Amino acid sequence: MAIRGLKVADLVSCGLQSNEAEVFVAAMRELDPRPQSEVWRWVTRNLLTPEHPMEVHEHLHRLVFADWDPVNGPAPAWFPEDPGASNIGWLMQRTGFETYGELHAWSVREPREFWETMVDRLDVRTARPCDTAVDLSDGVERPQWLVGAKLNVADSCFNAPADSTAIIYQKEGGSIERMSVGELQCLAARVANGLVELGVKTGDRVAIDLPMTAESVAIYLGAVAAGCPVVTVADSFAPAEINIRLGIAQPRCIFTQDHVMRGGKKLSLYEKVQSADAPRAIVLPCGTEIEGPLRDGDISWADFLSETSDFRPVPLDPTDYSTILFSSGTTGKPKAIPWDHTTPIKCAVDAHLHHDIHAGDVLCWPTNMGWMMGPWLVFAALMNKASMALFYGMPGSSEFARFVQDSRVNMLGVVPSLVSAWRSSNCIQGVDWSNIRAFSSTGECSNPQDMLFLMSRAGYKPVIEYCGGTEIGGGYITGTVVQHAAPATFSTPALGIDLVILGEDGQRAESGELFLIPPSMGLSQSLLNGDHHEVYYEGTPRGPEGQLLRRHGDRMQRFSNGYFRAHGRADDMMNLGGIKVSSLEIEESVAGMKGVRETAAIAVSPAGGGPSMLVVYAVPSGEIELNAAELRPAMQQAIRNRLNPLFKLHDVVVVPALPRTASNKVMRRVLRAEYEQR
């Protein structure tokens, strides 16, 4: 280690006062020659605080790990303290395995034993128990889970004591409120009975286009309990995108809200739903009363709710749908991905094992029911007898940071672009996040510096990097609390699932396209509007041992120590602000602009890693001379109005022509490489 090279002047240049810098130097020199992990633990416990300049944190981290081999990726910033007390520690003790590697190998080698163990651990309620956890007689592409069981997964969300807290929530500018498990169950029952009284039958689909509120959670669970698959639509979508999703799923009715408040601004939601030609709407008020008239046939939330507050969830087959979610497809049309009544078990297991959620914990993850992390949060919290913390305002605000503090959040989920915004705005300075035991990051590639910053805000707690998808029901690659946490890296495939990285030659590689090795509970087996086999299996290479592989589309690098780092997408998909979207969807949203003949949208990685940036290449039509600086705001407005206001356009590049293959397909990979080399 290079501790002896630590100088007072260097710390002062990083922002420390000279007297404190002298204390730091004297204390750290006493630590030489202890192991790096021991030194870093001591430094983070006894010297560094969130109030110290981030430059000091970064300088000391570099110094302690000066001889860290870069072939192992970023240096660690957190080490396990009591692995045996974790849920993974419990599973290792129960199964008799001494190492995490042995445990993971068992979880994929013996799927029946692993999933039976976890179903018992989570106390998943069934009207009829299963005969076996999995039947692979139809092959790993079509496994049958919980064979012979009858269940409704909503039933397993109310195992905690009725007087325990289910939801902690706060409206923008308001104060913290709480809803107990009993109150949530009562409201969900009134929703289920309200649907029955409205004439909605078991199997009919019900849509939700709402912000993430206590009521939206109750609506979701009430509809699932009634046996009505929930069609989730993000409240940020433009009317045309709402219309597409409702057209695919064909719900009987839709729950929405008159408007939402964001940063003090009133944004209409019911108006967008009407413009999308939605079916009969049940409209909730943002305030105390609904603002404005309702469309003929639509009804208010108060008039919809049943007076009957008891409801027995409808027992269903494990393969019956619980939720219909949407994920962008390479064709430009969203894929409608059904979750059945076993998919939420995958959500809860990932939370239990990899995020180490215990009864009584508080989980916070700024999200929406229209994205998979909304339903994920519901099941991750409630099936683990934990609480969820919902802030109704903007997560990029100091008010949100105080909400996390005052709610005593134990696990905070983020997307990397949010962390970057926190760092640049300094909005989380001065809050006490010491109750946080772990962070989790998903949706985009992470930047190591931003993740080190995030860890430092809670006195150095691990960031569980978590990557998966709607069609997985959770994560396929993640971190754990029994392995060291290095910023912006994954430590393991998720328990119960395995993967392989292949190069362009189809052989195992340290860097390349990642493929999943089925089976795993949570993996989709059907699409409402597509050929599932064609999308995920057709044309995939065989695995190193001849296994059937499942396509996912992420590019991944494996380091020498077995850790991983994500490098974006291998196909024409992109993740922007934690939302997956296809190049074609972006291109369609900016189509028809004056003077533009054609466009190509790509996502590029920043030089130091981190969230992808959206770049659009534009080819002039010849009518007028294109100016990229003038074109960019026009394209941004088109994306905002036609697709989603959350997608930010980083750059526009005007070129005379787009590179194409012999079959005339645009070579977006060439454009990505060209832009990243600039």
Of 162, 151, 156, 150, which is closest to residue 187 (Cα–Cα)?
A: 162
The two structure tokens encoding residue 170: 């706060």
27-36, 51-60, 176-185: lowest mean pLDDT where? 27-36
CA 207, distance to chain mean position in Å, is 21
163-177, 438-452, 567-581: lowest mean pLDDT where? 567-581
What is the pLDDT confidence band of residue 58, given thresholds at 50, 70 and 90? very high
DSSP notation for 139-154: -TTS-EEEET-BB-GG
Q: What mean pLDDT value characterizes the chain?
A: 93
User: What pLDDT does residue 643 have?
Assistant: 85
Check: CB of residue 198 under 8 Å from CB of residue 253. yes
What is the pLDDT confidence band of residue 330, given thresholds at 50, 70 and 90? low
- Map residue 576 onto helix, strand or coil: strand
Question: What would the pLDDT profile of 381-412 be if each residue is shown by its tens digit?
Answer: 999 999 999 999 999 999 999 999 999 999 99
**What mean pLDDT comes out for the span 451-467?**
97
User: What pLDDT does residue 570 have?
Assistant: 75
The CATH code for residues 572-676 is 3.30.300.30
Higher per-residue pLDDT: 17 or 263: 17
What is the pLDDT confidence band of residue 332, given thresholds at 50, 70 and 90? low
Residue type, 120: D
Question: What would the pLDDT profile of 111-147 be if each residue is shown by its tens digit?
Answer: 999 999 999 999 999 999 999 999 999 999 999 999 9
Hey, which bits of 453-578 come out as E strands?
463-465, 467-469, 474-478, 492-493, 498-502, 511-517, 550-558, 564-569, 573-576
**What mean pLDDT comes out for the span 13-28?**
94
Q: Which CATH architecture has domain 154-551?
A: 3-Layer(aba) Sandwich (3.40)
Answer whether residue 305 shows pLDDT above 60. Answer: yes
Question: What would the pLDDT profile of 580-602 be if each residue is shown by its tens digit?
Answer: 787 878 888 888 888 888 888 98
User: What pLDDT does residue 603 have?
Assistant: 86
Q: How would you classify residue 319: left for phi > 0, otherwise alpha for psi between -120 and 50, otherwise beta?
A: alpha
Question: What would the pLDDT profile of 336-369 be if each residue is shown by its tens digit?
Answer: 999 999 999 999 999 999 999 999 999 999 999 9
Answer whether residue 1 shows pLDDT above 60. Answer: no
Higher per-residue pLDDT: 320 or 656: 320
* Phi, psi of 632, deg, nearest 5: -60, -50
Collect contacts of 217-221 with beta carbons under 8 A, ≥24 apart.
217/166, 217/167, 217/184, 217/378, 217/388, 217/390, 218/184, 218/187, 218/188, 218/191, 219/188, 219/191, 219/255, 220/369, 220/375, 220/378, 221/154, 221/157, 221/184, 221/188, 221/191, 221/378
DSSP assigned state of 353: H
Q: Where are the domains of the chain?
A: 3-67, 154-551, 572-676
291-300, 315-324, 623-632: lowest mean pLDDT where? 623-632
What is the pLDDT confidence band of residue 674, given thresholds at 50, 70 and 90? confident
Burial-class residue 132 by CB neighbours within 10 Å (0-12, 13-18, 19+): middle
Residue type, 523: L
83-87, 139-143, 644-648: lowest mean pLDDT where? 644-648
Answer whether residue 246 shows pLDDT above 90. Answer: yes
Question: What would the pLDDT profile of 249-258 be if each residue is shown by its tens digit?
Answer: 999 999 999 9
User: What pLDDT does residue 662 have?
Assistant: 66
Of 538, 212, 549, which is closest to residue 393 (Cα–Cα)?
A: 212
Residue type, 445: C
